[in-house]
Amino acid sequence: MVKREETIAFFVEKAKEDFALVEKNLAGVITEIKNSNAKKLNYIEEFDAADVLRQVAELKKAKYKGKLFGVPVTVKDAICVKGIESKAGSKILKGYKPLFDANVIERARAEGAIILAKTTQDEFGFGTFATHTEKVPKNPFDNERSCGGSSGGGAGFTAFTKNFHVAIGESTGGSIACPASFCGSVGITPTYGLVSRYGLIDYANSLDKIGTIGKNAEDAALLLEVIAGYDARDSTSLQNGFKKEDAPIKRLAVIKDFFDGCDDEVKKVVQKKINELKKFYEVEEVSLPLNVKYALAAYYIIATCEASTNLAKLSGLRYGAQGEVEGKHFDAYFSEIRSKEFSDEAKRRIILGTFARMSGYRDAYYLKAMRVRTKLINEFNNAFKQYDLLLNPTMPVVAPKFSEIEKLTPLQNFAMDLCTVPANLAGLPHISVNVGFGEESKMPVGLMAIAPHLQEKRLYSFAKVME
In this structure, the number of other CB atoms found within 10 A of the CB of residue 95 comes to: 10
Please tell me whether residues 303 and 446 are part of one structural domain: no
Listing DSSP states for 66-85 in one string gives -TTTT-EEEEETTB-BTTB-
SS3 198: coil
Together in a domain, 220 and 343: no
Instruction: Give yes or no for residue 1 having a pLDDT over 80.
Output: no
Tell me how many domains the chain contains. Answer: 2
Quote the domain boundaries for residue 304: 296-363
Residue 337 and residue 438 share a domain: no
What's the Cα-to-Cα distance from 455 to each of 82, 401, 427, 429, rounded to whole Å? 32, 35, 12, 7
The model's pLDDT over 52-80, given as tens digits with 9 standing for 90+, comes to: 999 999 999 999 999 999 999 999 999 99
Cα distance between residue 47 and residue 55, in whole Å: 13
**Catalytic positions:** 76, 150, 175
Q: Is residue 377 part of a domain?
A: no
Q: Where a domain ends, among 346, 363, 380?
A: 363
Q: How confident is the model at residue 11 (pLDDT cuts 50, 70, 90)?
A: very high
Of the candidate ranges 27-41, 98-112, 359-373, the one whose mean pLDDT is the lowest: 359-373
Residue 368 lies in a domain: no
Model pLDDT, residue 261: 84
Residue 262 maps to a domain: yes
- pTM equals 0.96
DSSP three-state, residue 280? coil
The residues, any chain, with a CB within 8 Å of residue 120's CB and separated by 6 or more, are 42, 43, 44, 45, 77, 89, 130, 133, 135, 136, 137, 152, 153, 156
Q: Do residues 274 and 331 both lie within one domain? A: no
Is pLDDT of 374 > 90? yes
CATH for 452: 3.90.1300.10
Give the model's pLDDT for residue 319. 85
Shared domain for 146 and 10, answered yes or no, is: yes
In Å, how far from its chain's centre is CA 211?
6
Q: How far is residue 282's CA from residue 264's CA, in Å, rounded to a whole number?
A: 24
Query: Strand 251-255 vs strand 282-286: parallel, antiparallel, or unpaired?
Result: parallel
Residue 439 domain-assigned (yes or no): yes
* In the predicted structure, residue 326 carries a pLDDT above the cut 90: no
> What digits encode the pLDDT tens for the residues 211-243?
999 999 999 999 999 999 999 999 999 999 999
